[in-house]
Amino acid sequence: MIGLPFNAGADTNASTKMSEWSELKNSNVEISDLEKQAQRSFQFIHRNLRENGIVRGAVIASPSKHSPNYFYHWVRDAGLTMRELIAVYANTKDLRTKGLVKELILDWVIFEESNQRVATFNSNLGEPIFTVLGEIYPHPWGRPQTDGPAIRALAMIEWLEALVAEGGNESIIERLYQPELPANSPIKKDLEYIAHNWQLPSFDLWEEVRGNHFFTRMAQRAALIKGSALAFALGDNEASKFYKLQSQLIETELLKHIDGEREFIRPTLSQTDGWTHKTSELDVSVILGSLYFSLEDNFFTPDSKYVLMTAQKLENQFKNIYSINKTLFLGTAIGRYPEDVYDGTGFGGGNPWFLATNAFAELHCRAARFVGRGSVNERDRAHSFLRRALYHSDRNGHMSEQISRHNGYMMGARDLTWSYSSFVRALRYCEGPQILGLFK
Ligand code: NOJ
Ligand code: NOJ
């Protein structure tokens, strides 16, 4: 039975769930499929982080070294994955797991500190990819990608918050943020970079289009708002005001992405370079931007009108263009955007992606929370997306980047770190963070 007992009753509060869970453990009932997959995903992430031949702290996008070669550290994928490990750290009571994720997080911080130095020396902090040894990616690429430093800063701020929540470790906190200028600590470096450079056109998260992106701006706004609060707490008052002001300017820009007539959020404005075939202007990056970076302040939150309308339009499109969506009684397999042609190795046509399908599960779980009771349907719908992802994984729970739109087999980079972290994330939002306490 999938998802029981957690999905019985949409608004069970956390403590009830906890006690239900301990009863479940005591009676040795088998862990449900979704929970099992989340646990496996956590283990696959761990395996990728400790892959042979990489410097500690490097987060390979995938172990695949050819067709495609994803054996690199993308700042974005890494930061998003670290946020999940930080959530595990904050929610587990198992000391072994806690120790293990702490080590992984500390290694990542050290690796990113080095990347920041390498990037600053060679170009700027918008450098999107590093080799597994911590060098600049030595080829032409879509540069800069300014979501990276924002996601990195957000993840490090969340790490700092997790440490503070348990009484704080002064030396780690000081190492992460210091008011000093020119910035010499990792969070401060990224915040300064974002606060001064967010207006720069950037390549999007799909590395195809240069312009102003909803996803990127949402990441930057979140980093600056949380950064402003942190700066204030640490007595860096002028910086706090400056970050806050910049976040407000970004908000003005973000609102321009609303297309009132077509009733959706546009992913990119003022394109200056890159692919020009994305004529529908529907892109799952908008949904990801809301899920990953909205704060609880009604600004493009997952329950807001335009986010949900964008999601509905995307789903309608993908239902039509991917034939696997016609035949199976499962949630719709979701892709990046309707005009996508990247098949994971070449340009044979776009496919559904695990991370996009997982995101739709998260979206409906979070929307359900706002709707309250009587929203069992919405939760069922959410779970249908997770079952879809599970259906296309293999029997050991492996997930690649994409799912063939024709036959449902996995395509693209195998064991994509982000596919796993997005699954864990979806379940964290669907079942509550205490689910992470189960990971070993
Ligand atoms: C690799 C990029 O990472 C991917 O997002 C893009 O679609 C393809 N290259 C094609 O440009
Ligand atoms: C291609 C995706 O488009 C991009 O978002 C991602 O960062 C890289 N692959 C690595 O997974």
Secondary structure of residue 269 in the 3-state scheme: strand
pLDDT at residue 265 in the model = 98
pLDDT at residue 169 in the model = 73
Identify whether 207 is a catalytic site residue: yes
Sign of CA dihedral 216, 217, 222, 228: positive
DSSP state of 411: E
Of 74, 202, 420, the residue with max ligand 2 atoms within 8 A of its CB, to mutate for a pocket test, comes to 74
pLDDT tens, 331-386? 999 999 999 999 999 999 999 999 999 999 999 999 876 655 446 677 888 999 99
Q: How far is the CA of 208 from the centre of ligand 1 (A)?
A: 7
- Kindly tell me if the per-residue pLDDT of 421 is higher than 80: yes
pLDDT tens, 57-84? 999 999 999 999 999 999 999 999 999 9
pLDDT at residue 173 in the model = 84
Asked if 372 and 435 touch (Cβ cutoff 8 Å), the reply is no
Length of the chain: 440
What average pLDDT does this structure show over 127-131?
A: 98
Sign of CA dihedral 324, 326, 327, 331: positive
Q: What is the pTM of this model?
A: 0.92
Beta-bridged to residue 274, according to DSSP, are 209
pLDDT tens, 170-211? 888 889 999 999 999 999 999 999 999 999 999 999 999 999
pLDDT at residue 170 in the model = 80
> Which candidate, 86, 91, 19, 162, places its Cα nearest to that of 435?
91
Contacts of 386 (CB under 8 A, 6+ apart): 34, 37, 331, 358, 361, 423, 426, 427, 430
Q: Of 51, 103, 207, 303, which residue is the catalytic one?
A: 207
Q: How far is the CA of 252 from the centre of ligand 1 (A)?
A: 30
> Which candidate, 334, 338, 336, 396, places its Cα nearest to that of 361?
334
pLDDT tens, 152-162? 999 999 999 99
What average pLDDT does this structure show over 275-299?
A: 97
Secondary structure of residue 291 in the 3-state scheme: helix
What average pLDDT does this structure show over 316-340?
A: 94
Task: Say what percent of the chain tops pLDDT 90.
Answer: 85
Asked if 336 and 277 touch (Cβ cutoff 8 Å), the reply is no
Taking the CA atoms of the chain, what radius of gyration do you get in angstroms? 21
The angle formed by the CA atoms of residues 132, 137 and 139, to the nearest 5 degrees, is: 145
Distance CA 180, CA 354 (A): 42
Sheet holding 209-213, edge to edge: 202-203, 209-213, 268-274
Task: Say what percent of the chain tops pLDDT 70.
Answer: 91
> Which candidate, 338, 348, 336, places its Cα nearest to that of 401?
336
- Kindly tell me if the per-residue pLDDT of 30 is higher than 60: no
Asked if 125 and 189 touch (Cβ cutoff 8 Å), the reply is yes
Which atom of ligand 2 lies nearest, measured to the CA of 418? 11
Higher pLDDT, 174 or 39: 39
What does the mean pLDDT of the chain come to? 91
Identify whether 30 is a catalytic site residue: no
- Kindly tell me if the per-residue pLDDT of 143 is higher than 90: yes
Asked if 361 and 380 touch (Cβ cutoff 8 Å), the reply is no
What average pLDDT does this structure show over 223-251?
A: 97
Q: In which residue are the tokens 């993840």 written?
A: 155
Q: How far is the CA of 148 from the centre of ligand 2 (A)?
A: 12
- Kindly tell me if the per-residue pLDDT of 318 is higher than 70: yes
CA neighbours closer than 13 Å in the CB half-sphere of residue 429: 26
Paired sense of beta strands 202-203 and 264-265, if any: unpaired
Contacts of 137 (CB under 8 A, 6+ apart): 72, 127, 128, 129, 130, 131
Q: Of 35, 204, 340, 343, which residue is the catalytic one?
A: 204
Distance CA 52, CA 63 (A): 10
pLDDT at residue 219 in the model = 99
380-383 long-range contacts, CB within 8 A, separation 24+: 381/331, 382/426, 382/430, 383/2, 383/3, 383/7, 383/34, 383/331, 383/430
Contacts of 27 (CB under 8 A, 6+ apart): none
- Name the region of 14 (left: φ>0; alpha: ψ -120 to 50; beta: rest): alpha
> Which candidate, 52, 130, 45, places its Cα nearest to that of 80?
45
pLDDT at residue 369 in the model = 66
What average pLDDT does this structure show over 394-415?
A: 97
- Kindly tell me if the per-residue pLDDT of 28 is higher than 50: no
Which atom of ligand 2 lies nearest, measured to the CA of 72? 10
Burial of 28 from C-beta contacts in 10 A (0-12 / 13-18 / 19+): exposed
What average pLDDT does this structure show over 109-127?
A: 97
Distance CA 337, CA 311 (A): 11
**Helices 417-431, 354-371: crossing angle, 10 deg rounding:** 10
- Kindly tell me if the per-residue pLDDT of 6 is higher than 50: no
- Kindly tell me if the per-residue pLDDT of 3 is higher than 70: no
Ligand nearest to the CA of 413: 2
pLDDT at residue 56 in the model = 98
Cβ–ligand 1 contact at 207 (below 6 Å): yes
Q: How far is the CA of 56 from the centre of ligand 2 (A)?
A: 21
* Banded model confidence at residue 85, pLDDT cuts 50, 70, 90: very high
- Kindly tell me if the per-residue pLDDT of 150 is higher than 60: yes
